[in-house]
Amino acid sequence: MNTMDIKPAILVEGLGKSFTLHNQGAAHVPVFEGIDLAVRPGECVVLAGASGMGKSTMLRMIYGNYLPSTGSVKVLHDGAYLDLTGAAPHVTLDVRRRTMGYVSQFLRVIPRIPTLMLVMEPLLENGVAEDEARDRAERILAMLNLPRNLWALPPATFSGGEQQRVNIARVMVRDYPILLLDEPTASLDAANRETVLALMTMARDAGTAMVGIFHDEVARNAVATRFFDVTPHRCAA
Amino acid sequence: MTIHAPLAPTPLMQVRDLNKNFGPVRACRDVSFDLRRGEILGIVGESGSGKTTLLRCISGQTAPSSGEVLFDSQRHGLRDIFALSEQERRRIAREEWGYVHQNPRDGLRMRVSGGANVVEPLLMNNVRHYGRMRTQSLDWFAKVELDGARVDGKPRTFSGGMQQRLQIARNLIHNPSLIFMDEPTGGLDVSVQARLLDLMRVLVREMGLAAIIVTHDIGVARLLADRLLVMKSGEVVEQGLTDQVLDDPQHGYTQLLVSSVLQI
């Protein structure tokens, strides 16, 4: 099937961002402008461009974490396009709960909660019964080679790679139609990187629309269906 | 292209142009916001920004100088709580709200047992199945992770963290639709805070209740709140989705607040 016939899951139109730092003499920091991008189910668009070009900024804007200065981000949610720009907080939260997952580089969770519980949480929030949630959480943690004796522990004391896999498990335990990936393999060793990439390729082939940042070339080439270079959109400082 | 138009059920609470003056001091200026059912709203800002005054106004304890606090009450429907009689307003507070004080001593009765503290709101709401009271207090002791063996102990024999959990149980047992919290983790050790945060989050999710939490602790706000109001000198200078407000703050004051948090 020609992927161009499928409706995009993400529509970025005329997107621009600049930061105003009020406590530093109202310094105005333009990042990029005029970005258009459509991402269809089954595509993995990898953002390209040197550090500081605004790749993470763009990803965070798609997630509704940063506010666009201009333009809009629309996502296919419950079969219709929803403009996240200026959406009420509960609407954005609903999109995140059911449609759009985000793997960040950092694990940010309430301290002292056991790993297994953290991974079950996104399922419980979506009304999955506790037994099934536990089952699915255990399966994904096993798949990601997180040692079973760590499951009952909070991840605060885990290594960087272990924390990152908890982070990935929390997102991949669900089947989100849209996945945003900010360096998901950055702190993983080769074997674990392979597992994570296999998971992501599987999700992509099952029809997930993905946008990612991968500095690691092997990872990038393994999952990307195309590249999007943000450099031409960079604002002249 | 179809544009999604989510259904908007009426908010649980609507605050409209609320002002509160203490003589020449304008403690709250033109504050307006909506609260949805099941939503957790954080109010952040430094000491003296007016956040506790705002909480006292919207929870019916202090009359605002002007403005409205509309609450969708089971008994009265959507009404300005300050247009109701004092008695009716107290009844809403007793039946449909909870209020967790920063200092548990302000929210507990220190002379009666922990178990009695927990079930007292049921008595005040004329639920009188004495036989079941003990079971209910034990149930709630378990829910807030207190040892059931301490159910007959006086609150003063409890640690600060235990007292705070007791206060939370007391404020949830009557199944309110809205709970107000004023610096609920304020006086606690960091290790006790984490447990309390987790407990509050789980209970709020399970019971589907809305919460308004005043805190100066940005970390607490990030972990608990869906949405934030940032207050400075009595005004709401910024509001929005919690992570958006904290990660991409638009107002100079919020930028200062966020950049002043110590990183560990």
Q: Using CA atoms, how far apart are residues A191 and A208, in angstroms rounded to an integer? A: 24
Q: Which residue has the tokens 């499928």?
A: A6
Closest-CA residue of chain A to B192: A112
Q: Does residue A219 contact residue A193 with C-beta atoms inside 8 Å? A: yes
For residue A94, the chain B residues in CB contact (below 8 A) are 6
- Of the pLDDT bands very low, low, confident and very high (cuts 50, 70, 90), residue B52 is very high
Q: How many CA atoms lie within 13 A of B17 on its CB side?
A: 2
Beta bridge partners of B214: B43, B182
DSSP symbols for B94-111: HHHEEEE-SSHHHHS-TT
Q: Does residue A188 contact residue A145 with C-beta atoms inside 8 Å? A: no
Asked whether the predicted pLDDT for residue B8 surpasses 70, the reply is: no
For residue A21, the chain B residues in CB contact (below 8 A) are 255
Q: Using CA atoms, how far apart are residues A186 and B179, in angstroms rounded to an integer? A: 42
Q: Does residue A76 contact residue A177 with C-beta atoms inside 8 Å? A: yes
Total residues found in chain B within this entry = 264
Q: Which of A22, A72, A78 to mutate against chain B (most B CBs within 10 Å)? A: A22
| CA of A223 vs chain B CAs: smallest distance (Å) | 28
Residue A125's Cα: distance from chain center in Å? 18
Structure tokens at B129: 């199945």
List the pLDDT tens digit at each of the 237 positions of chain A: 455 678 999 999 999 999 999 988 889 999 999 999 999 999 999 999 888 889 999 999 999 999 999 999 999 999 999 999 989 999 999 999 999 999 988 777 777 789 999 999 999 988 899 999 999 999 999 999 999 999 999 998 899 889 999 999 999 999 999 999 999 998 899 999 999 999 999 999 999 999 999 988 889 999 999 999 999 998 875
| CA of B198 vs chain A CAs: smallest distance (Å) | 7
Q: Given phi > 0 = left and psi -120 to 50 = alpha, else beta, which region is A3?
A: alpha
**Closest residue by Cα to residue A121 from A181, A167, A164, A73:** A167
Contact B226 A89 (CB under 8 A): yes
What's residue A3's pLDDT?
Answer: 54
pTM score of the predicted model: 0.90
What's residue B1's pLDDT?
Answer: 40
What's residue B264's pLDDT?
Answer: 55
Contact A67 B248 (CB under 8 A): yes
Q: Does residue A13 contact residue B243 with C-beta atoms inside 8 Å? A: no
Cα separations (Å) of B47 from A127, B50, B262?
Answer: 39, 8, 18
H runs (alpha helix) in A10-77: 55-63
What domains are there in chain B, each with its CATH number?
A: 13-259 (3.40.50.300)
Q: Using CA atoms, how far apart are residues A59 and B185, in angstroms rounded to an integer? A: 33
Beta bridge partners of A29: A19
What's residue A105's pLDDT?
Answer: 81
Q: Which residue has the tokens 């003589």?
A: B23
Q: Using CA atoms, how far apart are residues A231 and B190, in angstroms rounded to an integer? A: 44
**Closest residue by Cα to residue B192 from B174, B228, B168, B156:** B168
Q: How many CB atoms lie within 10 A of CB A113?
A: 20
For residue B37, the chain A residues in CB contact (below 8 A) are none
Asked whether the predicted pLDDT for residue B246 surpasses 90, the reply is: yes
Structure tokens at A88: 């009420």
Say which range, A55-59, A105-109, B39-43, B210-214, has the weakest mean pLDDT. A105-109
Of A23, A79, A124, the CB nearest to B255: A23
The mean pLDDT value of chain B amounts to: 89
ipTM above 0.85, yes or no: yes
What percent of chain B clears pLDDT 90, i.e. is strictly above it? 69
The residue-averaged pLDDT of B174-190 equals 88
Query: Does the A43-65+89-233 domain belong in CATH 3.50.50.60?
Result: no
For residue A64, the chain B residues in CB contact (below 8 A) are 241, 244
Contact B226 A90 (CB under 8 A): yes
Of A23, A81, A82, the CB nearest to B256: A23
Asked whether the predicted pLDDT for residue B104 surpasses 80, the reply is: yes
Closest-CA residue of chain A to B33: A88
Say which range, A55-59, A178-182, B37-41, B187-191, has the weakest mean pLDDT. B187-191
Contact B198 A110 (CB under 8 A): yes
What's residue B4's pLDDT?
Answer: 43
Total residues found in chain A within this entry = 237
User: In angstroms, how far apart are the furthest CA atoms of chain A?
Assistant: 55
What's residue B3's pLDDT?
Answer: 45
The residue-averaged pLDDT of B196-202 equals 81
Q: Does residue A89 contact residue B226 with C-beta atoms inside 8 Å? A: yes
What's residue B68's pLDDT?
Answer: 97
Q: How many CA atoms lie within 13 A of A189 on its CB side?
A: 6
DSSP 8-class letter at B2? P
For residue A113, the chain B residues in CB contact (below 8 A) are 198
**CA A219, A221, A227, A233: dihedral to nearest 10 degrees?**
50
Give residues with Cβ within 8 angstroms of A139, minimum separation 6.
none
Q: Does residue B167 contact residue B180 with C-beta atoms inside 8 Å? A: no
Q: Does residue B222 contact residue B197 with C-beta atoms inside 8 Å? A: no
